Each structure stands twice: as structure tokens, then as C-alpha cells.
Amino acid sequence: MEQYVIKGGIPLNGDVTISGAKNAALGILAASIMTNEKVRVNNAPYVNDIIVMLDAIEEMGGTVERIDEHTVVISGKGIDSRTAGNDSLRNIRAGYYFIGALLGKSGYARVPLPGGCDIGSRPIDQHIKGFKALGADVKIENGIVIAKADHLRAAHIYFDVVSVGATINLMMASCMAEGQTILENVAKEPHIVDVANFLNSMGAKIKGAGTDTIRIVGVPRLMSTEYDIIPDQIEAGTFMCMAAATKGDITVRNVIPKHLESIGAKLVEMGNKVYFHNDTARVIGVSNQTHTDIKTLPYPGFPTDMQPQITTILCLAEGTSVVTENIFENRFRYVDELRLMGAQVKVEGNVAVVEGIDAFQSANLRAPDLRAGAALVMAALAADGISTVTDISYILRGYEDFDKKIRGLGGQIELCDDDRDVTKFRLRIG
Ligand code: UD1
């Protein structure tokens, strides 16, 4: 069984370079099929979710030239909007971006309902409400979303909840609709801005991305472009937390410091040292970290995708911390795994109360989802002794070269395919 085997208790030190943002790349790759001209995307992370998106584009009849691991040239010319979506697309959340992209391009989309991590009910009612407002007829048959419109017309759409997915989907669906669409109460995450910049580089007219209101003036067509994806905020934040967890000293390279402010601020409140420079964040983890409270919120608030990582380090901070999860209702499942390591955490509804302990014990752990999986690896790196983390397919969906990057910081971690590999690793590290 594929698993990470980790010998912890060693401070992680050195430099790590962050890959392109997975969640931006997912939106951008879907949007790239909206033109029949070639689109070159640079700095895409080489992770499984992206491989699934690219395979789906090919299965729909598009062309994907893989220039290297991080660079692709896509042509949406041969795409048949009636055959969208493969089975693996059901396993990733972002498959739903093909609804907005295909509807916006050709007035017809047939896409499986989204999957992704089981961190809550994750409805798509806001996406559907938006598509309908643009004049589309939307129905769900046997787990497939079918959206069609003879003619998309601009609309004024007010989202009931702040949704990253609905914001990106409606930006795509409306960028060739007739007239000016106004999206209100939108998400402001860095990847919203990146997808908007990408669409604008294709000729779209989108203004206001990164604020509460986005205005989109429909254009007749989108065109060829070349675009560099921004660095991944969550991968960067995860490595920042690793410095705190292992009491190490990590310089995280290729970051946009502005995107990391809420994470850096919490690490500082805990007593750690955080230094931002042009495109780096250095975190020095101190030995006596103190409690703090966390509330997850849409950007620029503290990201829900960093909640498992920060909760994990709060387990080792002196005093009582309260973590409130405001975005997804099922995002504390990893706490059972942390308890195996000695963590003292009580969960009631969307609130976790964490009593700091001195140290984790090593344990055999199972990753319940992508970000929690990364948090458990971090816990194992902080614990003396040898731990294992199974179900790592979640982690491979979103972190490029995770084990390799950790080894580059001096961490002892190996991705083992079977028990023989595990024995070899144990013998090697002694
Ligand atoms: C995206 C990210 C995910 C991140 C999340 C919040 C991708 C591929 N995934 O997920 O990593 O954790 O943003 O930052 O980019 N909601 C509704 N109705 C809808 C849509 C959403 O009620 O139609 C609710 C959700 O249940 C949730 C909240 O809105 O409570 C935010 O969800 P949303 O921002 O849409 O998350 P995703 O786009 O699925």
C-alpha cells in the first residue's frame, strides 16, 4: 500500500521553492478551452488534479501538448461540448469549471457533478443560480449537470454565499455573454484574480476581480495567449507551518507575500519569527509557542485550506486555542488521527478546542483529505520516532514532489509502495 514513512523529530531547515497554484491552474485550464486558438500555460503544478483536468480536455476532443512537466499548450478547437467529462473528473472538485467554460463558449455543457475532498456538503446551487440568470436552462440527470442556452445574456447576480467555485464559473460563463454582467458578493481569493487575469489576457473584459464586485463586459470571442500561473498560497503556507511544527528555519521561495499575510500573522502571534521579502517568506519556529485563536474566513481571512495545518501546530503550543471552521462543516475529521499521537482536541460542531501538549508520539495515520493529509505528515515530522501516513493519493492530488521537497529541508520521509520499501527505509535510517 502506497504510504509515506516518516522519521520525525528533526528540525526542517533550508529553502523550498513553491509550485504554481493548483486551484488557479484548475480554473485556468478549464478556461483555456474557451478559444479555438492555442493557449500556452506556464508554471502549472505537476500534481494529479491537473493531470486529470488535462486528460479530460483530451477526452473531450481538445489537444494538449505537454511541453514539460509545468508547461502545456492547449487547443480547445476539437472540443465537443456534448461529451464532456470522464469518470476521473468526478473525483475532483474543479471538474465543474467545464460547465462555465463550455456554456460560455458554445451554449451547451454536459459535465458530471463535482467530487473532491469530503469536507462538507459542497452544494453548487450558487453556480446554477448564476447560469440560470444568464439565461441557461440547467438540470441534473443521473449525476450529470446539463446546461444549455440559445443565447447567453448579461445579468446582475448577487451570490448568497461567498463561493470561489461559483465566482470563477460565472466569470467564465459570462465573458462572451451579451452585455455587462455584474457579480456581487464574490470570492476574492488570489486564484480568482489569476483566472480573471488569464481570461483578460485572452481578450475578456473583466474588472474588479479581488474586490466584492466583478464587472464583465461580454466580448464576441476569446483568443490565443501565453500565461504564467501564480505561486500556490496553500503550499507556501503549509511549508511555513512546517518550520513552526519542527522548530526549524525554512525560507519559502517563489511566493507572493501579500497572499500569506493571514498565515504569517498567526505564526507570529504564536511567537514564531516570520520575515517576508520580495518573493520569499522565512519562518523560524521557536521552542515555546503559545496558543492563539483561529477563525477561517474567505480571503483575506484565514484560509480554510490552512486550518488542519495550523490546528496541528496549535496542538504543540502552550495553552488553550480555539479553532472555528466557518467554511466547511466536515473539516475536523483528521483530529481523530492527531489524537492517536496524543493531541488533546475536543470538537463540538464547527469548533475545535485545543489544549497544548509537549510533543506528539509517532503513530500510524490515515489521510482523510488533501490538506489534512499534509497536516498529518507535518505532525509526523514533529514527532520523535517513525510514523506512517496512508491514503496519500489525496496529498498527491495537490502537493507537487511533497516528499522530495521535505527531504530537501532535511526531513526523513519516503514514499513507499509496499512493505519491502518500508523495511528498506527503516534499515537505512536506523
Ligand atoms: C474552493 C477550493 C477549495 C477551498 C474552497 C474555499 C478549488 C478547486 N477548491 O472550493 O480548496 O477550500 O474554495 O476557499 O478551488 N457553497 C454553497 N453553494 C454553492 C457553492 C458553495 O453553499 O453553490 C458553500 C460551500 O458549501 C462552502 C462555501 O460556500 O460552505 C465556500 O465554498 P466554495 O468557495 O464554493 O468552495 P469550492 O469552490 O468548492
The string of DSSP letters for 232-290 reads -HHHHHHHHHHHHHHT-EEEEES--GGGGHHHHHHHHHTT-EEEE-SSEEEEE--SS-B
User: Would the pLDDT of 85 be above 60?
Assistant: no
Residue of the CA atom closest to atom 17 of ligand 1:
123
| Closest atom of ligand 1 to CA, residue 114 | 39
52 Cβ below 6 A of ligand 1: no
8-state DSSP, 384: B
Whether 416 is catalytic is no
User: Would the pLDDT of 158 be above 90?
Assistant: yes
89 Cβ below 6 A of ligand 1: no
**Among 57-61, 99-103, 152-156, 344-348, which is the least confidently predicted range?**
57-61
pLDDT on residue 82: 64
120 Cβ below 6 A of ligand 1: yes
Q: Between residues 428 and 232, which one has the greater pLDDT? A: 232
309 Cβ below 6 A of ligand 1: no
Exposed, middle or buried by CB within 10 Å (0-12, 13-18, 19+), for 287?
Answer: exposed
Residue 105 CA from chain centroid, whole number: 25
Q: CA-based diameter of the chain, in Å?
A: 67
Which of 163, 171, 183, 306 gets mutated to test ligand 1 (max ligand atoms within 8 A of its CB)? 163
Query: For residue range 172-181, what is the model confidence (pLDDT) as tens digits?
Result: 999 999 999 9
pLDDT on residue 423: 87
Task: Give the Å distance between the CA of 261 and the centre of ligand 1.
Answer: 21
91 Cβ below 6 A of ligand 1: no
Residues 248-260, mean pLDDT to the nearest whole number? 98
CA dihedral 385, 391, 394, 396 (to 10 degrees): 70
Residue of the CA atom closest to atom 38 of ligand 1:
165
Query: For residue range 1-51, what is the model confidence (pLDDT) as tens digits?
Result: 899 999 999 999 999 999 999 999 999 999 999 999 999 999 999 999 999
Residues 376-391, mean pLDDT to the nearest whole number? 97
Q: What angle do CA 187, 195, 86 make, to 5 degrees?
A: 100
Task: Give the Å distance between the CA of 187 and the centre of ligand 1.
Answer: 9
Residue of the CA atom closest to atom 26 of ligand 1:
122
Query: For residue range 303-345, what is the model confidence (pLDDT) as tens digits?
Result: 999 999 999 999 999 999 999 999 998 899 999 999 999 999 9
Residues 277-287, mean pLDDT to the nearest whole number? 97
How many angstroms separate the CA atoms of 74 and 65, rounded? 6
Residue 171 CA from chain centroid, whole number: 19
Task: Give the Å distance between the CA of 398 and the centre of ligand 1.
Answer: 16
Residues 135-145, mean pLDDT to the nearest whole number? 91
The string of DSSP letters for 349-363 reads TTEEEEE--S-PBP-
User: Would the pLDDT of 276 be above 80?
Assistant: yes
> Which pLDDT band holds residue 381 (cuts at 50, 70, 90)?
very high
pLDDT on residue 287: 94
CA dihedral 29, 32, 37, 42 (to 10 degrees): -50
Burial state string for 253-267 with b = 16 or more CB within 10 A and e = fewer than 16? bbbbbebbebbbebb
Count CB atoms within 10 A of the CB of residue 200.
Answer: 18
pLDDT on residue 31: 98
pLDDT on residue 1: 82
User: Would the pLDDT of 429 be above 90?
Assistant: no
pLDDT on residue 118: 65
In the chain, what percentage of residues exceed pLDDT 90? 86
Task: Identify whether the C-beta of residue 98 lies closer than 8 Å to the C-beta of residue 111.
Answer: yes
Query: For residue range 392-410, what is the model confidence (pLDDT) as tens digits?
Result: 999 999 999 999 999 999 9
Residues in the chain: 430
> Which pLDDT band holds residue 426 (cuts at 50, 70, 90)?
confident
How many angstroms separate the CA atoms of 196 and 69, rounded? 24
160 Cβ below 6 A of ligand 1: no
pLDDT on residue 27: 97
